[in-house]
Amino acid sequence: MVPAHGGRAAQPVYRPILASHRRGELEALNHVDSAAAPLLAPILEISVADRSTMDVLRRLPAGLLPAVDVTDLPDVADTEMVRWGVPLMPVIGLAESDRRLVAHGAAAREYAGRALIRLRAARDRAGPDASTTAVERIWRFTGLAPEQCDLLVDAGDVCCAADVRVAEPRVRRLLGWARRHAWHSVTVAAGGMPPTLSRLPSDEPVRLDRWDWQLWRRLTDTGVDYGDYGVGPATPGNGDPGDRLPTVRYTADGGWWVYRWSRRGGRGDDRFADLCRTLVAAPHWPSTGAAFSWGDHELLRRARRGAGAGSTANWAAWSTSHHLAHVLAALTRPDNDTAPGWVPPQRGRSPR
């Protein structure tokens, strides 16, 4: 949550983790409603710092400030984000080199005045004292104070009930450690989408539980913000590179409805139009229809045969657009019973 006066939350902030190599996910950001932009703080994993990536960053809507993770890029001058000339917030891992930490500190001061520290629950398991040593090193080399840093606790894949049961106590231990420090905000993120969908039935909608959402709901007493991996898996890669069936991953309360369509034979336009007609007639189609999001508008156009079937990147873009709108609507509902927000320790007082 965004701290308000008195340490309480003003509005929820949603942090989706999106991959630059899945272009459809980034395209969805270009269509975020301006009223929703202040509530959305996307984390972009950059795998290639090419011109197209820079173009995507420059086209983001006004008011949308991305956090950018360049862990997969070589530690060279060209990957120093302060040189990119694009407003952003650097994402910092616990094992960054001294050189990169200095560069991240420069980028933070140039743009947002803040950085996001990403702690991976399954990987960064050195214990509370070692974690404190690691973040103190980050603050020293970046020149940032704890209150200038947002903390992301990344739980990784949670694709079943057993994963949630394992992840919850591990995340709670990390949040207990986090209360030692005066973070600007704390977010818990996880990915609930399976890495492959090719084994699911086709030509019928299949419901999958959003285990990432369920994990966060079990943690609402801690006051953390919500993050996820959009409609993609948390595992690296492209998911199903060999599965070319028209596919929509449609977010609903507590679950996704996965539509993989092969009926009507060869023509992709016919298959996708049939998929979209089935979707818009379903109970989970929003009451506001095409007005709910840019993605819903595009899906309704295909249901009415107003445009072609599109590509895998388009299907990901439309699915992600609906997902972002759905999550923001859920987080801002008047009946949302989540906790009032992360309350950091008061300056000058020990939380221990």
- Average pLDDT of each block of 10 consecutive residues along the chain (352 residues)? 38 90 87 90 87 82 91 91 92 95 96 95 80 95 97 96 96 94 96 92 96 96 96 74 80 96 71 94 96 97 89 94 96 71 54 34
Spatial distance between the Cα atoms of 203 and 284, rounded to a whole number of angstroms: 17
pLDDT value of residue 3? 38
Residue 347 falls within a domain, yes or no? no
Residue 244 falls within a domain, yes or no? yes
Q: Which domain holds residue 305?
A: 5-332
Q: Which string of DSSP letters, residue by residue, matches 174-186? A: HHHHHTTS--SEE
Backbone angles phi and psi of 192, in degrees to 5: -105, -10
pLDDT value of residue 344? 62
Residue 349 falls within a domain, yes or no? no
Largest CA distance in the chain: 68
Spatial distance between the Cα atoms of 37 and 16, rounded to a whole number of angstroms: 13
Using alpha carbons, select from 207, 221, 203 the residue that is nearest to residue 264. Answer: 203
Residue 43 falls within a domain, yes or no? yes
| Those residues with Cβ within 8 angstroms of residue 298's Cβ, 6 or more apart along the chain or in another chain | 307, 310, 314, 318, 321
Q: Would the CA dihedral through 186, 292, 202, 313 be positive or negative?
A: negative
Q: Which string of DSSP letters, residue by residue, matches 139-156? A: HHHHT--GGGEEEEEEEE
Residue 352 falls within a domain, yes or no? no
Q: What's the predicted TM-score (pTM) here?
A: 0.91
Tokens of 270: 């016919």
Number of domains in the chain: 1
Residue 26 falls within a domain, yes or no? yes
Query: For residues 296 and 287, is the Cβ–Cβ distance under 8 A?
Result: no
Tokens of 117: 């520290």
| Those residues with Cβ within 8 angstroms of residue 296's Cβ, 6 or more apart along the chain or in another chain | 286, 289, 290, 318, 321, 322, 325
Spatial distance between the Cα atoms of 330 and 332, rounded to a whole number of angstroms: 6
pLDDT value of residue 350? 36
Residue 263 falls within a domain, yes or no? yes
pLDDT value of residue 347? 45
Spatial distance between the Cα atoms of 277 and 270, rounded to a whole number of angstroms: 11
Spatial distance between the Cα atoms of 262 and 13, rounded to a whole number of angstroms: 38
| CATH number, residue 167 | 3.20.20.10
Residue 344 falls within a domain, yes or no? no
pLDDT value of residue 52? 75
